[in-house]
Amino acid sequence: MKRTKILIVAVLAIFMIATPMAVFANDDDAYATEEVVSGTTVVVGNGSIIEEVWPAPLRLDEIFKTRDGETPIYVRLRAFAEREGAWDVRWNGETRVVTIVANNGEFVTVAVEERGGFIEDGVAWVPLEVAAVVQEALRNAWGWTDPVDRIDLTIWERYRFEDVREAAFSTDLQHGEISVGYIEYINDNLGARSAFTYSELEAAIWIVEELLAMGHDWDYITAQEFTYWDLHEIELSAMGWLSWWMVTSEMILGTGREYQIRLDRVSQNIILTLPGQSESKIIVGAHYDSPPYPSASDNASGTALLLESAQRMMELDHYHTIVYVFFGAEEVGLIGANYYYYMLTEAERENIVLMINADVLIEGPYIIYGVGEFPTIDEDAMEEIIEAFAEMLREMIEQWIDHELEFWQEIYPGKTRQEIIDQMVYDNVRFFEMMPPEQIAMQAVSMGLLGPYEGEIGQKVNRIAAELNRNNDFELLNIPSFAMAPSDHLVFLFQGHPVINFAGMERAENVEAVLGDFMEQALRLEMLGDGFSTTVLHSPLDDFHIIEYIWPGMMLNNLEAFSIFLERILTTRFY
Which range of residues forms the domain containing residue 403? 379-437
Place 19 in a pLDDT band, splitting at 50, 70 and 90: very low
* Same domain? 237 vs 204: yes
Instruction: Compute the distance between CA of residue 20 and CA of residue 16 in angstroms, rounded to an integer.
Output: 9
What is the pLDDT at residue 37? 29
- 499, 348 in Cβ contact below 8 A? no
* Same domain? 300 vs 332: yes
Place 8 in a pLDDT band, splitting at 50, 70 and 90: very low
What would the DSSP string read from start to end of 68-104? TTEEEEEEEHHHHHHHTT-SEEEEETTTTEEEEE-TT
Does residue 40 lie in a domain region? Answer: no
- Give long-range contacts, CB 8 A cutoff, 24+ apart: 212-218: 212/161, 212/164, 213/164, 213/165, 213/166, 213/167, 213/168, 214/167, 214/310, 214/311, 214/314, 215/167, 215/314, 216/272, 216/310, 216/314, 218/158, 218/161
pLDDT > 90 in the chain, percent: 53
Does residue 421 lie in a domain region? Answer: yes
> Minimum mean pLDDT among 3-12, 29-38, 73-82, 266-275: which range?
3-12
**How many Å separate Cα 497 from the centre of its chain?**
21
- 158, 212 in Cβ contact below 8 A? no
How confident is the model over 193-230, as pLDDT tens digits? 999 999 999 999 999 999 999 999 999 999 999 998 88
What is the pLDDT at residue 535? 96
* Same domain? 105 vs 230: no
How confident is the model over 328-366, as pLDDT tens digits? 999 999 999 999 999 999 999 999 999 999 999 999 999
What's the Cα-to-Cα distance from 497 to each of 333, 371, 565, rounded to whole Å? 20, 11, 20
DSSP label of 18: T
How confident is the model over 131-147, as pLDDT tens digits? 888 887 887 776 556 77
What is the pLDDT at residue 48? 31
Instruction: Compute the distance between CA of residue 332 and CA of residue 203 in angstroms, rounded to an integer.
Output: 17
**Nearest Cα to Cα of residue 176 among 557, 468, 560:** 560
What is the pLDDT at residue 233? 73
pLDDT higher than threshold 70 for residue 40: no
Decide which of 82, 115, 146 is a domain's last residue: 146
Place 545 in a pLDDT band, splitting at 50, 70 and 90: very high
Does residue 367 lie in a domain region? Answer: yes
Place 6 in a pLDDT band, splitting at 50, 70 and 90: very low
* Same domain? 330 vs 433: no
Does residue 411 lie in a domain region? Answer: yes
**Nearest Cα to Cα of residue 374 among 458, 302, 435, 431:** 458
What CATH number corresponds to the domain at position 468?
A: 3.40.630.10
> Minimum mean pLDDT among 172-186, 302-316, 355-369, 434-448: which range?
434-448
For strands 49-53 and 107-111, give the pairing.
unpaired
Strands (E), 97-209: 97-101, 107-111, 118-120, 123-127
Does residue 46 lie in a domain region? Answer: no
Instruction: Compute the distance between CA of residue 547 and CA of residue 553 in angstroms, rounded to an integer.
Output: 9
Instruction: Compute the distance between CA of residue 162 and CA of residue 114 in angstroms, rounded to an integer.
Output: 50
Does residue 399 lie in a domain region? Answer: yes
Does residue 5 lie in a domain region? Answer: no
* Same domain? 277 vs 183: yes
- 323, 313 in Cβ contact below 8 A? no
Does residue 12 lie in a domain region? Answer: no
How confident is the model over 42-53, as pLDDT tens digits? 222 233 332 333
* Same domain? 530 vs 403: no
What CATH number corresponds to the domain at position 85?
A: 3.30.457
DSSP label of 553: T
pLDDT higher than threshold 70 for residue 173: yes
* Same domain? 174 vs 240: yes
* Same domain? 368 vs 403: no
* Same domain? 466 vs 398: no
* Same domain? 174 vs 309: yes
Higher pLDDT, 290 or 94: 290
* Same domain? 516 vs 408: no
Decide which of 146, 181, 214 is a domain's last residue: 146
For 432, phi and psi rounded to 5 degrees?
-60, -45
Higher pLDDT, 386 or 317: 317
* Same domain? 369 vs 391: no
Place 57 in a pLDDT band, splitting at 50, 70 and 90: low
For 373, phi and psi rounded to 5 degrees?
-125, 160
How confident is the model over 302-318, as pLDDT tens digits? 999 999 999 999 999 99
The tally of domains found in the chain comes to 3
- Give long-range contacts, CB 8 A cutoff, 24+ apart: 427-434: 427/14, 428/12, 428/14, 428/393, 429/386, 429/389, 429/390, 429/393, 431/12, 432/386, 432/389, 433/386
